[in-house]
Structure formats: C-alpha cells, structure tokens
C-alpha cells in the first residue's frame, strides 16, 4: 500500500512539472499577440532604491549615464532607505563629477523597507512610465530601446527582463543558479505569450502608472506583488526576452539559501493569494496558468515532503530500496552536473515547503527590514 501511494505521488509530482514545462516551452515559441512599436519612446522615471549600497551605487549611476536612451526623456530618482554606510556620500560625489546626469535624491528616514522607498519615489515621479532597477544590477546600454516598445500595446501594463548572472563561473552555486534561471526564464516567457507572468525581476521592472496604484507592501514582494496588482487591474504583465540585466550571485552557500528563501516566501505568498482569488472567482490570471502554478508552488512542495518521508520509511521496510538509493546516490555524486542539479532541485523543494509553513504562520521575510 505504501509503495502504491509512493508511486502515485511520484507520478503527480513529476507529471505536473513535465506537463507544464512542455506546454510553456511550446507556447514560448509562439508569436506575440501584441502591437509592438519600435518607435515608442516615452518619457520615463527610473527609481533606484538603495540601502547600504556604497559598494555598488557609483557603478549603478555610471551605468545609467551610459544608457543610450535620450537623457531628456529620463527622470532618475534615487531613494535612500536610511543607509548607515557611505551610499549617499558616494552618490553625491559621483554626481558632482558627472553633472550631465540629473538625479533627484530622496531619503527615507527612519528606514521603512524597499517597497515603501519605491512608493516614496512614485509620489515624486512626473512621468507615466515607472522603471525600477536594483542598485546592484547593470543594464546593457540599449535595454530601454528593447523593452519599451512592448508597452505600446494598451493591454500591457508591466514588463520585466531576464536576470543574467554576472559571475557564472565564480562558484558552483552560481553555475547551478544559471541553469535554474534559464529554466525559469523559459517558463516566464511561455506564460507571457499565453497572457502574463507575475515572476518579475527587481533588476528591471517597467510599469504603466495607470496599471497600479502603489508598489506592493503587503507581501514583501515589491516586484512580483506589483505585477499581480497589474494583472488584477486588467492588464498583462510580460517578460521581454531581449531585455536583461546583470547581477552577481553570492558565492557563499548560506547567503544564497537565505536569498532563495526570501524569494520563495514572496512567491508562495503570492500564489496563496492567487488561490484565494481563484476560490472567490476574482482572479484575472487565466486558470490554465494559475492552476498549474498553484499546484507546482503550493501543492508539490507538500507532496515532496510526504515523498521524502515515505522514501525513508520504505527504505527501512524494504532493504532493496535502500540499496538502490545508495547505488543511485553514488552514481550521481560522480557526475558533477547531474549532482548539482539534483541537489539544487531537492534544496528548492525544501525551501518552498519551509516558505509555505512561514506563510501559513504569517511570517514574512522582506528585502530590507524596518528599523
């Protein structure tokens, strides 16, 4: 009976992933059903939230100065969230040396977190297009020319880009994360071709002002949470594959796990929110996207936890299963690429399971905690 249950759970777990992946891979190859205008070049406001970014802030400002988009159409607002290091000092020093770059600097004090910092910047924005970019990310010079044309379609309310690892060879965690991002970007593109993706990247998020009222502060996911607001307001939120930004992945395993846990708490919280909308008949995201995502993000991690427990029980009840597991483990250890991917997949499931527990307990992990 236990073996039969074990096999059923494996089929549900693996089958849901495989089916959804194949479906979105097919959809990702479809043409866009959008009116993309390469001549669409509106005035934009670029919000750069920062907290203790003395290491990155000058490089970020230099990066914005080198963007090829017309400077007279760019309004840049740097919002410092009560940094305790030399973030502001280095920002002012850079701007004194580069007076051609016009940047408005706002200071949020006391510290209230990234989402609140963005909302402070939003109040000062004078354009209808709001762009958010992390202080530790770097844009290609033509990123705006590749991104903004998709917003010419009235149905599109938000656009995001791909996160590209700037240091893919620095550590095994970076190498594994690169594989993970490639898969996620394919899924996000497929979802965008169908209708929308709410998996947004903080390195590059573009929003129409009339598509949302404020940046999401409830979930702690200012990027993906705001994308969900855009969808719930009747607009599409999409990934533009040509648009990307570079960010470094922490080399230390513990730091990376903490970052992945924070992201997992945000996403599982959003999909739990989508589940509530679905039950109430209020979800604007198509069911053919929402139901599989809820299964994968909420149900599958629970199934995985049950599977892990059942596997341990069966291994002790049936020694042959334990022997097979040991042999398979030895084989996987000898093949680095397979070993790393399997380890990452298992780690991701445990992180998602823990994130679900934290959400059910009402715990949140935000990018910058309030003071």
Consecutive H or E run containing 335 = none
Q: Which long-range contacts (CB under 8 A, 24 or more apart) does 212-219 make?
A: 212/157, 212/158, 214/119, 214/122, 215/115, 215/118, 215/119, 215/122, 215/132, 216/115, 217/113, 217/115, 217/116, 217/119, 219/266, 219/269, 219/270, 219/273, 219/364
Question: From CA 280, how far away is CA 362, in angstroms rounded?
Answer: 21
Question: From CA 253, how far away is CA 196, in angstroms rounded?
Answer: 32
Q: Give the pLDDT confidence score for residue 51 in this predicted structure.
A: 96
> Which of 141-145, 243-247, 271-275, 343-347 is least confident?
343-347
Q: Cβ contacts of residue 323 below 8 Å, gap of 6+?
A: none
Report the candidate in 106, 112, 74 with the shortest Cα–Cα distance to residue 91: 106
pLDDT tens readout for residues 116-160: 999 999 999 999 999 999 999 999 999 999 999 999 999 999 999
pLDDT tens readout for residues 18-69: 999 999 999 999 999 999 999 999 999 999 999 999 999 999 999 999 999 9
Question: From CA 90, how far away is CA 223, in angstroms rounded?
Answer: 26
Contact 215, 258 (CB under 8 A): no
pLDDT tens readout for residues 172-199: 667 777 778 888 999 999 999 999 999 9
Q: What is the mean pLDDT of residues 274-288?
A: 96
pLDDT band at 254 (very low <50, low <70, confident <90, very high): confident
Measured in degrees and rounded to the nearest 5, phi and psi for residue 105 equal -110, 125
Question: From CA 198, how far away is CA 220, in angstroms rounded?
Answer: 14
Q: Give the pLDDT confidence score for residue 240 in this predicted structure.
A: 96
Burial (CB < 10 A; 0-12, 13-18, 19+), residue 161, is buried
pLDDT tens readout for residues 77-93: 999 999 999 999 999 99
pLDDT band at 371 (very low <50, low <70, confident <90, very high): very low
Model confidence, pTM: 0.90
Query: Residue 191, Cα to own-chain centre: how many angstroms?
Result: 14
Q: What is the mean pLDDT of residues 238-253?
A: 86
Q: Give the pLDDT confidence score for residue 122 in this predicted structure.
A: 97
Contact 231, 197 (CB under 8 A): no
- The mean pLDDT value of the chain amounts to 90
What domains are there in the chain, each with its CATH number?
Answer: 26-260 (3.90.550.10)
Question: From CA 60, how far away is CA 53, in angstroms rounded?
Answer: 10
Is residue 369's pLDDT more than 60? no
Taking CA atoms, 40 is separated from 47, 99, 145, 196, in Å, by 20, 28, 9, 21
Largest Cα–Cα distance of the chain, in whole Å? 73
Q: How much of the chain exceeds pLDDT 70, in percent?
A: 91
Q: What is the mean pLDDT of residues 304-309?
A: 92
Q: Give the pLDDT confidence score for residue 220 in this predicted structure.
A: 75
Residue 110, preceding peptide bond in cis (omega within 30° of 0): yes
pLDDT tens readout for residues 316-363: 787 776 676 667 666 666 666 666 677 778 889 999 999 999 998 887
Contact 243, 141 (CB under 8 A): no
Contact 249, 256 (CB under 8 A): yes
């Amino acid at each position: 009976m236990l073996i039969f249950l074990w096999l059923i759970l494996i089929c549900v777990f693996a089958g849901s992933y495989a089916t959804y992946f194949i479906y979105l891979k097919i959809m990702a190859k479809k043409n866009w059903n959008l009116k993309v205008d390469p001549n669409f070049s509106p005035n934009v406001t670029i919000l750069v939230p920062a907290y203790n970014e003395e290491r990155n802030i000058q490089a970020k400002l230099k990066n914005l100065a080198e963007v090829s988009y017309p400077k007279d159409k760019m309004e840049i607002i740097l919002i410092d969230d009560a940094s305790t290091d030399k973030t502001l000092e280095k920002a002012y020093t850079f701007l004194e040396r580069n007076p051609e770059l016009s940047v408005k600097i706002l200071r949020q004090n006391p510290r209230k977190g990234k989402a609140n910092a963005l909302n402070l910047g939003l109040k000062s924005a004078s354009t209808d297009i709001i762009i958010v970019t992390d202080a530790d990310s770097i844009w290609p010079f033509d990123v705006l020319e590749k991104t903004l044309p998709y917003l010419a379609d009235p149905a599109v309310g938000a656009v995001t880009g791909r996160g590209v690892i700037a240091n893919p060879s620095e550590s095994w965690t970076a190498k594994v994360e690169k594989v993970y991002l490639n898969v996620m970007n394919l899924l996000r593109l497929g979802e965008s071709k169908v209708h929308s993706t709410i998996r947004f990247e903080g390195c590059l998020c573009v929003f129409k002002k009339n598509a949302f009222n404020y940046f999401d502060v409830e979930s702690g996911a200012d990027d993906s949470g705001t994308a969900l607001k855009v969808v719930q307001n009747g607009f599409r939120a999409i990934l533009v594959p040509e648009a990307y930004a570079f960010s470094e992945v922490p080399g230390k395993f513990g730091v990376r796990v903490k970052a992945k846990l924070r992201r997992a708490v945000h996403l599982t919280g959003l999909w739990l929110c989508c589940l509530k909308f679905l039950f109430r008949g209020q979800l604007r995201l198509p069911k053919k996207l929402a139901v599989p995502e809820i299964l994968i993000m909420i149900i599958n991690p629970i199934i995985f936890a049950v599977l892990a427990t059942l596997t341990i029980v069966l291994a002790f009840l049936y020694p042959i299963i334990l022997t097979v597991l040991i042999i398979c483990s030895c084989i996987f250890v000898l093949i680095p690429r397979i070993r790393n991917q399997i380890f990452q997949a298992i780690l991701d499931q445990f992180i998602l399971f823990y994130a679900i527990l934290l959400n059910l307990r009402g715990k949140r992990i935000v990018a910058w905690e309030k003071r």
